Structure 1
């Protein structure tokens, strides 16, 4: 009888779906007398992903401040004016002037299918038109930014009076996105290719995030940015350059901050985990992801 009691849990472990066992990747960072928690975010999700694992909830309760990529609740009025200059075309220019006729027709058709007035995109930079179409498609999908990890904790910080700080300003973030300008036709075309499969693709990304499956998450996101020029921009500018900027800003963050950034920022040779380890931070995984990155925790303080 005792042998059966030992065998049954083992069989269940082998037979149960992985998602019941694996968890999103979540880390404790320490160097000297400073400590932070680091969680990779997915920016849209479903209510069913909550509550989050106990390790994340315990750390949130202990933390003294929330750090996001951008504190969207604290954007000054003059910065919104700068946002308009980054995302909109100069006066007298329209989207039809900026992209090939066939791509413009596809963009207008996609807008109509999504219930957007096609004219609403005419004044936008092509890269921002691509983002606008994706956001609209997410609104009509089973996923919502309301349940994104960053928004979830921003809401909780507001409710609990916990201070919030951004790693960068909104104009800095949009400036990085605008740097795709040389390849923005590719970005818009790739977005239009992806839109019909968005629900399926995003469900796969969400599942990989829930499992903390680093390799699968990277592969899926690279599939979305399939053209090589876009992959290079994504890896070198949108990820690596920002990661290095954030690393320099980390020492100025409030002590015991709970840091939430896009999950893809964590991984790879230029990912935050590798950069932090190289800078002497001790990294301790606090959850049980599907693929745990090899961190020794041996970096000197």
Structure 2
């Protein structure tokens, strides 16, 4: 019932959309970094005047059309550990308190505004940590990507077309053309690089092309301007390698399905943004998984993706946060979807002996 209702809300029943959408949201930071290569090269394809985001909130529509299905999602979200809230205080006796803040890797003004308490803590912190401090300089970030071309480009002499049948190649060519890109110009880019570009709504690309910073970068920029120490919990190479380790077939499927979603991705992004602003992070995955076709054949691939891109990285970021938290007065900002769950950062920090409390 839930699947059917949300599929209707998506207006054409995207039968395997969840793999794509979950890929997008869990890896959006990596996708934003990857899109540098495309946006910096093809910035003209994103119209600077097309910054108005469109899209409807799917959950509001679901609540109106099927209250029982909506209530079921609410109940499921309530079971997600630490699924409510973006801003957490991290404490241990003898150490000044620190802060953990969940971000959304977009340039939406509502997201950039940040809760007042989080902004105050950011200004008072002596050290600020984000997923990767290399994003502070986009040209250096792109240079770092190009230092390891095998992580983002086909270096074996093949192109993406060599990995597609004729039908899919045509779909890709037409989809890229609709977004102002020539297949010939990007044919050596790996599919997840292209997906990181085509998955983002036109309004997001337009803001980025005009120089807007997504939230994590804005936090780091404000910290630098205030003379604070900025640290990264991962390197871009590590993030790129994590994506590249997953099966090529998974990324090709994600790219093609992202193209198929087209403007419907705006509805998903609108819903995601509303959930983020309200702090209902625990509702995110139940809502997205509700659009999954239960007969999807890519469950195994997504499980591998979730392990490598979400869970493994949670542990890396938690471990690398330890010396920063031991100093105290730190502000740690990572993607909000890394916070909830049994192996989310909130629980992982608690297992390291910290008291982690939600700040309302």
Whether TM exceeds 0.5 here: the answer is yes
Q: Name 1:162's counterpart in structure 2.
A: 228
- Alignment of 1:26 onto 2:87: yes
What's the TM-score once normalised by structure 1's chain length? Answer: 0.78
Mapped contact 2:106–2:204 kept (Cα < 8 A): no
1:263–1:234 distance in 2 versus 1, CA, 3 Å: farther
Q: Name 2:175's counterpart in structure 1.
A: 110
Q: Name 2:219's counterpart in structure 1.
A: 153
Mapped contact 2:149–2:155 kept (Cα < 8 A): no
- What's the CA shift string for 1:218-258, capped at 9, x where partnerless? 23454688742343133211111011111221122253221
Mapped contact 1:190–1:224 kept (Cα < 8 A): no
1:177–1:242 distance in 2 versus 1, CA, 3 Å: same
Q: Name 2:104's counterpart in structure 1.
A: 42
Please report how far the alpha carbon of residue 207 of structure 1 lies from its aligned counterpart in structure 2 after TM superposition: 0.5
Please report how far the alpha carbon of residue 193 of structure 1 lies from its aligned counterpart in structure 2 after TM superposition: 3.0
CA–CA distance in structure 2, aligned partners of residues 115 and 234 of structure 1 = 29
- Alignment of 1:84 onto 2:146: no
Mapped contact 1:65–1:164 kept (Cα < 8 A): yes
Q: Name 1:122's counterpart in structure 2.
A: 187
CA–CA distance in structure 1, aligned partners of residues 338 and 117 of structure 2 = 21
CA–CA distance in structure 2, aligned partners of residues 280 and 101 of structure 1 = 55
CA–CA distance in structure 1, aligned partners of residues 354 and 156 of structure 2 = 49
The one of 140, 152, 173 equivalent to 2:239 is: 173
Q: Over aligned residue pairs, what C-alpha RMSD do you find?
A: 2.7
1:29–1:224 distance in 2 versus 1, CA, 3 Å: farther
1:170–1:216 distance in 2 versus 1, CA, 3 Å: same
Q: Name 1:207's counterpart in structure 2.
A: 274
Which runs of 5 or more residues in structure 1 are unaligned?
Answer: 1-22, 288-301
What's the TM-score once normalised by structure 2's chain length? Answer: 0.66
Q: Name 1:11's counterpart in structure 2.
A: none
- What's the CA shift string for 1:198-221, capped at 9, x where partnerless? 221111101000111123222345
CA–CA distance in structure 2, aligned partners of residues 175 and 97 of structure 1 = 22
Mapped contact 1:180–1:233 kept (Cα < 8 A): yes
CA–CA distance in structure 2, aligned partners of residues 189 and 119 of structure 1 = 17
Q: Name 1:272's counterpart in structure 2.
A: 345
Where in structure 2 are the equivalents of 1:187-266 lying within 5 Å? 187-222=254-289, 227-253=298-324, 255-266=328-339
The one of 94, 104, 120 equivalent to 1:58 is: 120
Which runs of 5 or more residues in structure 2 are unaligned?
Answer: 1-83
Rg larger for: 1
Mapped contact 1:98–1:126 kept (Cα < 8 A): no
Mapped contact 2:89–2:100 kept (Cα < 8 A): yes
CA–CA distance in structure 2, aligned partners of residues 189 and 229 of structure 1 = 18
Secondary structure at 1:112 match in 2: helix
Where in structure 2 are the equivalents of 1:273-292 lying within 5 Å? 273-287=346-360
The one of 161, 165, 181 equivalent to 1:96 is: 161
How many corresponding residue pairs?
A: 265
CA–CA distance in structure 2, aligned partners of residues 113 and 40 of structure 1 = 33
- Alignment of 1:134 onto 2:199: yes
Mapped contact 1:127–1:185 kept (Cα < 8 A): yes
CA–CA distance in structure 2, aligned partners of residues 171 and 224 of structure 1 = 32
- What's the CA shift string for 1:81-107, capped at 9, x where partnerless? 334221000142111012233222211
Secondary structure at 2:113 match in 1: coil
Q: Name 2:136's counterpart in structure 1.
A: 73
